[in-house]
Amino acid sequence: MASIYNNYSSDTICAIATAMSDAGIGIIRVSGSDAVDICDKIFVSPKKQHTLKDHEANTIKYGFVCDGDTIIDEVMISFMKGPYSYTREDVIEINSHGGMLIMNQIMELLIKNGCRLAEPGEFTKRAFLNGRIDLTKAEAIMDIISAQNNFALESSRMQLQGKISDCIKDIRKKIIYEMAFIESALDDPENYDLTGYPEKLDGIVDNLSEEIRKLVDSANEGKIRKDGIRTVIVGKPNAGKSSLLNALTGDERAIVTNIAGTTRDIIEETVRLGDIILHVIDTAGIRDTDDVIEKIGVDKAKKAVEEAELVLYILDSTDVFSDEDKEIASLCKDKKTIVLLNKNDLENDIKITDDIVRMHFSEPDDKELPIISTSLLKGDGLDDLKAAVSDLFLNGEIAPKQEIYITNLRHKDLLEKALESLSLVKDSISKNISEDFYTIDLTSAYEFLGEIIGEEIGDDLVEEIFSKFCMGK
């Protein structure tokens, strides 16, 4: 049980656990001490010979949900007796037909007979508060449901298996050992000698910080792999921006035309480059114009570049490198940018080469600017684009290398706070400050890490975290 949490309500809750749409089967979940009694009021077995109370735990029974003498639906009911259930309370799951109307009628019946409609995430919150899972595992359950790619799914699975909690618990164990040692030495100086201890602690804190730092470092890559990269496609009208988007989405959603400035508004698409997700904003192109509608597009494009993590800058290689191009190039400054020299199939007309691009882009300390030759008409160059994105964001590794990645911002923030506290311990050591000060900052680090797994967490945060869950989970 989360130590500081006071808001536990033990009333019996119900919710539709399956999707809110018509389907073959729907599952309604009921959890709480009155789950069996309430369901008994609405469940009738075929020969009316059983009540749910008589059913063995972990069995599934066939019968009917009835409102008085009226049969509402033909169902299967499973019963998991607490503490051997998802929430550790008595849990009943009603497998009914999956129509929204029928499921809502069953829900109304349950509520009429004493259930309360569950809040989002309340089943998982109870599992957490009853000590069945820690907070990282509860969060992993949500992440498994919302995973959008294999990486997100796999890292959530690892988290649910306890890889992150184990790691955090291990670090906390080492910290509390030192805290206990210092306390003991201060209480009982005759038996515990602190001579030479600060130097030893300094080394221990270095190692702990290194372990935490690795987790923090994994967060940037973890986020990119899980959530994708905010990407903007820029370039003059007709360079091939819509064609790129179409090549990536594999359909004709963006209207491709050769009339300058037709793609006036911003189109946002989520596309996959292998297992990397790009949230691509296609813009109207960036150029000075008096046309009011077009101007809106241009302003949006400039703003989109500011907000993007990756800029894909398309140049029509059969055109000249104009002032507009220079202006666009200047917008890309300080952004991770990949230049696509498009229309390479028109090889006889090429006017812009890699060298010309570099000349206009180069800063004295410019990193190697990735320049890719493409024919978006033919779909050529997309593999090179994938490699370039992976070079820029994933150290060239397409597949994840580590077992554990931090993908949750809450975890990352707390890890950083723990690091900060450990650095204060080192400060105190270097300044020869007395040992009891070490404990203060070691305790903070211990508590920040505890918040990750939910051991040092207050009501508000518990409410906030679980409110983001979906209904019925």
Q: Where along the sequence are the contacts to ligand GDP (CB under 6 A)?
A: 235, 237-243, 256-258, 263, 342-343, 345-346, 375-377
**Nearest distance in Å: CB 397, ligand GDP:** 29
**Nearest distance in Å: CB 348, ligand GDP:** 12
Nearer to ligand GDP, 32 or 237 (CB): 237
Nearer to ligand GDP, 48 or 378 (CB): 378
Task: Give start and end residues of each alpha helix (H) in 312-435.
Answer: 323-331, 354-361, 382-394, 409-430
Nearer to ligand GDP, 166 or 347 (CB): 347
- The secondary structure of residue 375, as a DSSP letter, is B
Phi, psi angles (nearest 5°) of residue 366: -65, 135
**Nearest distance in Å: CB 297, ligand GDP:** 11
Nearer to ligand GDP, 26 or 285 (CB): 285
**Nearest distance in Å: CB 298, ligand GDP:** 13
Concatenated DSSP letters for 95-162? EEEE-HHHHHHHHHHHHHTT-EEPPTTHHHHHHHHTTSS-HHHHHHHHHHHH--SHHHHHHHHHHHTT
For 469, residues 6+ apart whose C-beta sits below 8 A from its C-beta are: 120, 121, 124, 125, 142
**Nearest distance in Å: CB 226, ligand GDP:** 30
Are residues 28 and 39 in contact, defined by beta-carbon separation less than 8 angstroms? Answer: no
Nearer to ligand GDP, 165 or 242 (CB): 242
Nearer to ligand GDP, 351 or 401 (CB): 351
Are residues 287 and 208 in contact, defined by beta-carbon separation less than 8 angstroms? Answer: no
- The secondary structure of residue 87, as a DSSP letter, is S
**Separation of alpha carbons 176 and 164, rounded Å:** 18
Phi, psi angles (nearest 5°) of residue 169: -65, -40
- The secondary structure of residue 380, as a DSSP letter, is B
Nearer to ligand GDP, 48 or 351 (CB): 351
Containing H/E element for 168?
A: helix 163-187
Q: Measuring CA to CA, which residue among 8, 39, 40, 12 is closest to residue 118?
A: 12
Nearer to ligand GDP, 231 or 375 (CB): 375
Concatenated DSSP letters for 286-335? ------HHHHHHHHHHHHHHHH-SEEEEEEETTS---HHHHHHHHHTTTS
Concatenated DSSP letters for 18-73? S-SS-EEEEEEEEESTTHHHHHHHHEE-TTS---GGGSPTTEEEEEEEEETTEEEE
**Nearest distance in Å: CB 424, ligand GDP:** 53
Nearer to ligand GDP, 32 or 240 (CB): 240
